[in-house]
Structure 1
Amino acid sequence: MPMTTLQKPTARQDPLPEVGTPLHEVTFVVVDLETTGGSAGQDHITEIGAVKVRGGEVLGEFQTLVNSHVPIPAVVRVLTGITDAMLASAPSIRSALPAFLEFAAGAVIVAHNARFDVGFLKAACAATGLTWPEPVVVDTVLLARALVTADESPNHRLGSLARLFRATVTPDHRALHDAQATVDVLHGLIGRVGTLGVTTIEELATYSGQVPQARRRKRHLADDLPDAPGVYLFKDGAGRVLYVGTSVAIRTRVRSYFTGAEKRRRMGEMIRLAESVTPVVCATVLEAQVRELRLIAQHKPPYNRRSRNPEKALWIKLTVESFPRLSIVRQVRGDTPHYLGPFGSRTAAEDAVAALHESLTLRQCTQKLSATRPRDSACTLADLGRCPAPCTGAIEIDAYAAIAERAASAMTGDPGAIVAALNDRMATLAIGQRFEEAATVRDRLSALLRGASRIQRMAPLARTAELLAARRSVIGGWELICVRHGRLAGSTHSPRGADPMPYVDALRASAEIVPSAQLPAPAASAEETEKILAWLEEPGVRIVDIDGAWTCPVGGAQAHHLTLLSDLGAPARTAAAMMTA
């Protein structure tokens, strides 16, 4: 039997955006399959039936038999009435599947026991070289289990639910009839979840009935929130901030916390305590991301896990003294440009220090040393050849300064010499089958390069008094930002079709006045400056004006770090190859 398609002209529905899509605006394709058996990997599709609906109106139907080129099992013939003779002139799955995918393009897929039907469709795509489009899927079986009680229906089979919801078509194990019956079941189930406050496809797709009613009742907290980019703050009855989040659509994101889409246990605890939500609308997405960081640092909400204590970040400093050494400090004081970091933990900072000590014979003692008052004896590290013993006068200030200069160069420029030395060390350890020690050296090198990369990227922006940049907005017009000394001083949006320069001038005039911080650190948290850098480095961003020089060292730490990550474990593989050669 040839494929038949009856369809009203309709625009293709784009993939679901982050903002909530009301159910009456969603295009559903309700599909049912008949197959030769129950295994998607071994059995074959023999019939596809589908109905396209939106807002309760049928937009089109799709039906085709599929020649599977294998005999139909007797039990399937009895169940469906489909015979080998009926399939002889039917199209193959290579012809039928693309036609169905075109019919269903952009729609939400609905099926009764969707795991079965979608599993067969995915397997058929894989077998024919097609790409499964990964649509949103709604399973009417799962919805029925959450919404239909045993008193109403003895089970959740399609036939039983069709009777309950008085479907206009009786399911009979033929694909199109079963799909038509499933449409009525879907509409009946949507009617029920509507009374529970589920009104968008995002909520329907994740609805399980397992959301406590106490949480669902708090959905009203989102009712008056704007669907605009920005930050939202959950607060308890005393006004204490419990959690800070950000979204391109505040109301839609907040509503998701009261549905089955939110599965994090700590968020469930937070919702039980929440009594209000405060929105902070932002001109751009970057502004929302930055405000989120600042509000988390300010309020330290108990249910935010990250970014609560930027002031506790650690730095590595090459000290300013006759015989410099490496020191882990809490603050950048602006006394030297030679800092690394910041580091999120003391372990990471200590690993970076160890990497430098592994390749350079800097002193590791913490005492202040005088070139004119040497000591009588050196420490054990000097005996091991890992310290030039400036404490005893064994090395002159100028000679030691050359060692310190190599450390400074690696911290602010190209750490290639350090990387090469540590790579040689890893290879030697791997050849000797000391793989754990090689991994330790690798981790130390990674920590060093990560810390050097962060400061090398941030320092130029920290030194830049002002930078104005723009990129085209997805809603038209331009997103405009003003950055001063690595801090977001302001942002705005110029409308579609408008000359953006007056908006640039207004942004510059109204932006926050930001004094320079203790260089090379920015006048903001490292996370904020890195958010700004990520925005500036996106394709299509234009520098409108700059007071300073925004640069980054060629061959700097970031390039070496990316190489290390891509070649992770290379010394061990090299050693293994050498041992088997």
Structure 2
Amino acid sequence: MRGMTRLATPGAVHGAVQPSFEDLGTPLREVTFVVVDLETTGTRTTDSGITEIGAVKVRGGEVLGEFQSLVNPGREVPAFVARLTGITTAMVSTAPSIDLVLPSFLEWAHDCVLVAHNAPFDVGFLKAAAAGLGYPWPGFPVVDTVPLARRVVPKDEAPNHKLATLAHLFRARVTPEHRALADARATVDVLHGLLDRLGAMGVQHLEDLATAADPVPPDVRKKRHLADGLPEAPGVYLFKGPGDEVLYVGTSTNIRKRVRSYFTAAEKRRRITEMVRIAHEVTPVVCATPLEAAVRELRLITEHEPRYNRRSKHPERHTWVRLTDEPYPRLSVVRDVRPGAPHIGPFGSRRVAQDAVDALHDALPLRQCTLRLAAVSRTPGSPCALAGMGRCSAPCVAVVAPDDAYAAVAKTAAEVLTGDPSSVVQALAARIGRLAAEQRFEEAGVVTGRLRAYVQGAGRAQRLAPLAACAELVAARPTPAGGWELVVVRHARLAGTAVTRPDEDPLPVVDALRATAETVDAPVPPAPACHPEEAALVIDWLESPGVRLVHTSDPWALPVRSALAHADLAGVSGEVRAQVDSLQ
């Protein structure tokens, strides 16, 4: 068994992967650079050819070798190019052609990082030559010294960032003279000068160099060491600040790579940049599966309430709509779920829940007063304006016998909350159509928003209720490696997860996982025994392709005619929806 873990403890074993340069985190002193320069007959690859290739191989400040060759471009060398470089048509007429020189250079530069001053020019010609000869481009990592120079050499120190200017600034041992090898030698000294300056800014690894030209504040860039030693594995990471305060929780399929991105220009969120400035540690939690990572992230956010996370911190703020349990039921927006009464939700806010309530009131003549009414009142009440408008059957005036008409309305309300919502959808869709026909699109938009809130809330409850009521469900999904990803779900909460090897019998692992999974107390459905977002993550996983049910203690099914069938508001015509949505 590989990667078996309960949700209470971190840790997993992962298969080997082929790392890239970006993933390795190679110190710059261990990187072999090939600094290359070309001379050409022109500036465009489409109508120009290479006349000379010069390159220097260096590692750790030491020159390991040099490559230099004239190249017959197969065309005349223009006079102005000859004057600039000193390379004439006569000089290259007996030189080897590119089909002989390029393979030698590519083999010599194998497994190295290419460096050039204005790299798009030189590398562009090399790629074009490879393509013309039918060679696949090796995909060298490339470093361009021009943007690096712009990052660390201010204008008051150098008037421009040309190679000759930088060579003079860094006291290069060779003066650039528009010959390939000389210019490559000068670029080596420029590279080393730039690396010295970048090192003071925290650029110590190859992947640091890849983003060193980004406009990242120096104090943020210096925090890159926080990613050192982090695992290249899926899981959760916690940024911690003074006093070990958890500032931010995130998840990734590659913890180290994701954390490093926070110190580059790829991170553009101001609040996250502020967080990085005060962070002093990153704690990883390696997970067996992406599902476990997503659940752990959610739980840690709920537990620590990090100030820089914006979502999922307050599950207690989720609301439900309940049909109250009293002689004349009414709709109420509540925080908790109680047994014996239909509910829909959860809703992210009280406002959205109220929209769902308003949708039901638009379709059904439920009472909207908050008084608790007896089945038979001793004295007749005074019906409100809604009764006069036909939007309430006014049970408050019943003095002889219970109001059977209202009982029928309440029964319909219970049915549309827990089962088929078609009657509500059809009633509101007809109203939206009438408003749109009268070009009252803003009012139609309000009703559409209410209908959408109701349908989504009812769909969530109908989706959650069966799993929340299920004491235990075990499911499996094939892994790309040929094993199985196993989960134990109890009352919609992820209670355990494991990953098996391709050659391993999964059934004993299932038995062990069930025996060690978390004990979960039964909730009141449709509320799950966990954060509603965790339940949604679990359900999404269970409904994903390839999942197989191994064991279930209770039925797990949806109503045949459920609110989920109306999630796209199919009862509202597409034209009307387009008009309404344009105003929202």
One-letter code aligned to 2:360:
L
Contact kept? 2:452, 2:569, Cα under 8 Å: no
Deviation at 1:533, TM superposition (A): 1.1
Matched, 1:313 2:302: no
**8 Å contact kept, 1:468–1:483:** yes
- The structure-2 alpha-carbon separation of the partners of 1:215 and 1:556, relative to structure 1 and needing over 3 Å to count, comes to same
Q: Is the 8 A contact 1:516 1:523 kept in 2?
A: yes
Work out the CA distance in 1 between the residues paired with 2:359 and 2:575. 18
What residue in structure 2 maps to residue 102 of structure 1? none
Aligned to 2:255: 250
1:561 and 1:108 map into 2 onto residues whose CA distance is 52
* Counterpart Cα distance in 1 of 2:123 and 2:431: 52
Q: For 2:550 and 2:332, how far apart are their aligned partners in 1?
A: 39
Give the one of 223, 230, 236 matched to 1:218.
Answer: 223
CA radius of gyration, larger in: 2
Q: Is the 8 A contact 1:26 1:201 kept in 2?
A: no
What is the 5 A alignment of 1:161-560? Answer: 193=198, 196-198=201-203, 203-208=208-213, 210-336=215-341, 338-373=342-377, 375-393=380-398, 397-474=403-480, 477-560=483-566
Amino acid at match of 1:382: A
Identify which range, 474-483 or 522-531, moves more after superposition: 474-483
1: distance between equivalents of 2:484 and 2:438?
58
SS at match of 1:515: coil
Structure 1 runs not aligned, ≥5 long:
1-12, 38-42, 67-73, 82-106, 120-134, 576-581
Structure 2 Cα separation of the partners of residues 471 and 408 of structure 1: 36
Q: Is the 8 A contact 1:485 1:517 kept in 2?
A: yes
Are the aligned partners of 1:470 and 1:479 in contact in 2 as well (CA < 8 Å)? yes
Shift of 1:36: 11
Change (3 A) 1:500 1:256: same
| Residues 53 and 118 of structure 1, relative CA distance in 2, 3 Å threshold | closer
Kindly report the root-mean-square deviation, in angstroms, between the aligned alpha carbons of the 2 structures.
Answer: 5.0
Q: Distance in 2 between matches of 1:29 and 1:504?
A: 56
Cα distance in 1 between the residues matched to 2:31 and 2:555: 50
Spell out, residue by residue over 1:373-414, the C-alpha distance to the aligned partner (whole angstroms, 9 max, x if none): 153320111111111111112995432222222222222222
Which residue identity lines up with residue 253 of structure 1 in the other structure? R
CA 1:242–1:458 in structure 2 vs 1: closer, same or farther (change >3 Å)? Answer: same
Encode CA deviations 1:243-298: one digit per residue, 9 max, x unaligned.
11122222332233233332221122222222222222222221111111111111
Once the 2 structures are TM-superposed, how far is the Cα of residue 560 of structure 1 from its aligned partner?
1.1
- Give the 5 Å matches for 1:9-48: 22=26, 46=47
C-alpha offsets along residues 296-349 of structure 1, whole Å, 9 cap, x if unaligned?
11111111111110111110001112211110001012232x111111111101
Deviation at 1:79, TM superposition (A): 10
In the alignment, residue 214 of structure 1 is paired with which amino acid?
D
Equivalent residues of 2:21, 2:207 under 8 A apart: no
Distance in 2, Cα, partners of 1:389 & 1:562? 34
Question: Aligned with 2:220: secondary structure?
Answer: helix
SS in structure 1 opposite 2:250?
Answer: strand
TM-score w.r.t. the length of structure 1 is 0.73
The residue identity in structure 2 corresponding to 1:358 is D
Equivalenced residues, count:
519
Judging changes above 3 Å, is the alpha-carbon distance between structure 1 residues 211 and 384 closer, same or farther for their aligned structure 2 residues?
same
Distance 1:355 1:115 in 2: 60
Instruction: Return closer, same or farther for 1:483/1:272 CA change in 2, 3 Å cut-off.
Output: same
1:156 deviates by 2.4
Give, as a single letter, the amino acid of the residue that structure 2 aligns with 1:464: C
Say if 1:207 and 1:261, in contact at 8 Å, map to a contact too. no
- Is the alpha carbon distance of 1:438 and 1:202 closer, same or farther for their aligned partners in structure 2, counting shifts above 3 Å? farther
Q: Is the 8 A contact 1:30 1:183 kept in 2?
A: no
Runs in 1 of length 4+ with deviation above 6 angstroms? Answer: 13-18, 23-37, 48-58, 63-66, 74-81, 107-119, 135-139, 162-174, 177-188
Residue 21 of structure 2 contacts residue 206 of structure 2 at CA under 8 Å; is this kept in 1?
no
Higher RCO (CA-CA < 8 Å; seq separation 6+): 2
Answering whether residue 179 of structure 2 is matched by residue 144 of structure 1, we say no
